[in-house]
Amino acid sequence: MPTLAADLDLTFQALADPTRRGIVERLSRGPATVSELARPYGMSLPAIVQHLAVLENSGLVQSEKLGRVRTCSIDPAALSLAEQWFNQRRAEWDRRLDRLGEHLQRFPDGEPE
């Protein structure tokens, strides 16, 4: 059973590539076929399919084949894992910066007494 850390690693590895980030951005506007996803990149369909395989393996993208057409869509729940991780880091840094601000307010002239 994959751990939360392993899932997060797969998510960030998938998003590390600019083509895959572009695909995720495109899919955030709605489902698209593999051909539609390949169009802006000037890549072969097999190359796009490889990128999609990485995104599917990470759980960010789902695909469905109907006849000869494969349609992909984003899984918003998978993105929430990365969002939660960022929010935790943001909250941690906000607390640290608040403590720093409180500490600096004790020295209005910028010098410790």
Average pLDDT on 38-62 reads 94
pLDDT digits (tens, 9 = 90+) for 74-90: 998 888 888 888 888 88
Domains in the chain and their CATH numbers? 4-105 (1.10.10.10)
Alpha carbon distance, N-terminus to C-terminus of the chain: 56
15 or 96, greater pLDDT: 15
What pLDDT is recorded for position 110? Answer: 62
Q: Enter the pTM of the model.
A: 0.75
pLDDT digits (tens, 9 = 90+) for 2-39: 577 788 889 999 999 999 999 999 999 999 999 999 99
Quote the percentage of the chain above a pLDDT of 90: 55
3-state secondary structure of 32: strand
Written as one string, the DSSP assignment of 59-82 is TSEEEEEETTEEEEEE-HHHHHHH
Contact 49, 87 (CB under 8 A): no
